[in-house]
C-alpha cells in the first residue's frame, strides 16, 4: 500500500542519494519529504522494529524511546537550521548587519548576533498520520511550497492536529489524544505568522503565505 511507502527508507537507506536520505545511523533515518509542505521539510524515521508500526502517541509512551527520539530531533533541528542559514542567511537583516560590522574599519568590539534559525524550525507529529511507519516532521515554519495544495495540508501543520515533539509525554486527558480530525482540518485558516484569519479562502491564504515567506526569510 502507498501508506507503507516510508518503509523502504528504513530498510535500505544506503540505496538513496543525499537528495533523498539526509543521513542514517543504526537507529534513525532522516529523509526529505517527497511532497514538502514548507520550503524545507524533513522526516525523521526511527528504525526500532518494535515501534515503527505503532501510532506516535503510543510509541512515545515509552520514556526511554521518547528521550532517544527527542535527542535525535535536536540534532536534526540543528542540521535543518544550518540548511536555512545557507539558503536564506545572506538575505536576512541580521546577517547583513553582522557582515557590515565585520567589514567596518575598525570593527566594533561586539558583533551583532546572527539569526537563530533553530527558532524557525518546527518538530512534531500528526494526530492522525497518513503514513504507516512512525515519522516525525521537521520543517521550516513558512508553510511555503507549491506542494501545499489542499486545505488539510495547511491545517494539518497549523492546528492542534500537529503535536510538537516537546509536548510529549501527553497528559492522559490531553484533548489532542482524541482528535476530532475533521474539526481541526476544516477549521478556518489563520496565518501562522501574523494571525490574520482567512476563513476558508485558500487561494487568498496561499498568496498571503508567499508575502509572509518573503518577509520572514529577510527578517
Ligand atoms: P503524515 O500525514 O503521515 O504525518 O505525513 C506523511 C508525510 O510523508 C507527508 O508529509 C508526505 O508528503 C510524505 N510522504 C508520503 N509518501 C512519501 C514517500 O514515498 N517518500 C517520502 N520521502 N515522503 C513521503
Ligand atoms: Zn500573515
- Mind listing the pLDDT tens digit for each residue in 140-188? 999 999 999 999 999 999 999 999 999 999 999 999 998 876 699 999 9
Is this prediction's ipTM beyond 0.95? yes
Low-confidence residues of the chain, pLDDT below 70? 181-182
The closest residue, in CA terms, to atom 24 on ligand 1 is 34
pLDDT at 120: 97
Q: Are 161 and 127 in contact (CB under 8 A)?
A: yes
The closest residue, in CA terms, to atom 6 on ligand 1 is 131
pLDDT at 182: 64
Q: How far is residue 111 from each of residues 88, 92, 97, 105, 108, measured CA to CA in Å? A: 20, 15, 9, 13, 6
Which atom of ligand 1 lies nearest, measured to the CA of 156? 2
CA-to-CA distance for 162 and 176, rounded, in angstroms? 9
Q: Cell digits for 4?
A: 507503507
pLDDT at 91: 83
The closest residue, in CA terms, to atom 11 on ligand 1 is 35
| CB neighbour list of residue 84: distance below 8 Å, 6 or more residues apart | 40, 117, 120, 121, 140
Catalytic positions, please?
135
- Cα 45 to ligand 1 centre (Å): 11
pLDDT at 113: 82
Largest CA distance in the chain: 64
Pocket of ligand 1 (CB under 6 A): 5, 31, 33-35, 126, 129-131
The ligand that comes nearest to the alpha carbon of residue 211 is: 2
Q: Are 117 and 5 in contact (CB under 8 A)?
A: no
The ligand that comes nearest to the alpha carbon of residue 206 is: 2
- Nearest 5°: phi and psi at 136? -115, 130
CA-to-CA distance for 68 and 105, rounded, in angstroms? 47
CA-to-CA distance for 127 and 160, rounded, in angstroms? 8
Given the C-alpha cell 514548507, which residue does it identify? Answer: 38
Amino acid at each position: 500500500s502507498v501508506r507503507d511507502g516510508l518503509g523502504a527508507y528504513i530498510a535500505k537507506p544506503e540505496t538513496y542519494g543525499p537528495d533523498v536520505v539526509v543521513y542514517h545511523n543504526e537507529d534513525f533515518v532522516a529523509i526529505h519529504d517527497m511532497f514538502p509542505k514548507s520550503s524545507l521539510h524533513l522526516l525523521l524515521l526511527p528504525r526500532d522494529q518494535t515501534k515503527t508500526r505503532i501510532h506516535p502517541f503510543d510509541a512515545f509512551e515509552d520514556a526511554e524511546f521518547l528521550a532517544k527520539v527527542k535527542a535525535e530531533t535536536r540534532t536534526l533541528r540543528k542540521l535543518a537550521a544550518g540548511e536555512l542559514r545557507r539558503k536564506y542567511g545572506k538575505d536576512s537583516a541580521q546577517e547583513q548587519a553582522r557582515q557590515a560590522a565585520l567589514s567596518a574599519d575598525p570593527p566594533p568590539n561586539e558583533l551583532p548576533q546572527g539569526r537563530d534559525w533553530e527558532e524557525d524550525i518546527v518538530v512534531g507529529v500528526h494526530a492522525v498520520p497518513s503514513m504507516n511507519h512512525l515519522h516525525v516532521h521537521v520543517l521550516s515554519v513558512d508553510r511555503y511550497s507549491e506542494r501545499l495544495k489542499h486545505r488539510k495540508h495547511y491545517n494539518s501543520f497549523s492546528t492542534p492536529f500537529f503535536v510538537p515533539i516537546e509536548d510529549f509525554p501527553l497528559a492522559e486527558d490531553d484533548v489532542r489524544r482524541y482528535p476530532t480530525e475533521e474539526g481541526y482540518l476544516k477549521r478556518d485558516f489563520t496565518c501562522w505568522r501574523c494571525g490574520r484569519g482567512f476563513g476558508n479562502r485558500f487561494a487568498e491564504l496561499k498568496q498571503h503565505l508567499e508575502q509572509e515567506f518573503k518577509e520572514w526569510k529577510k527578517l
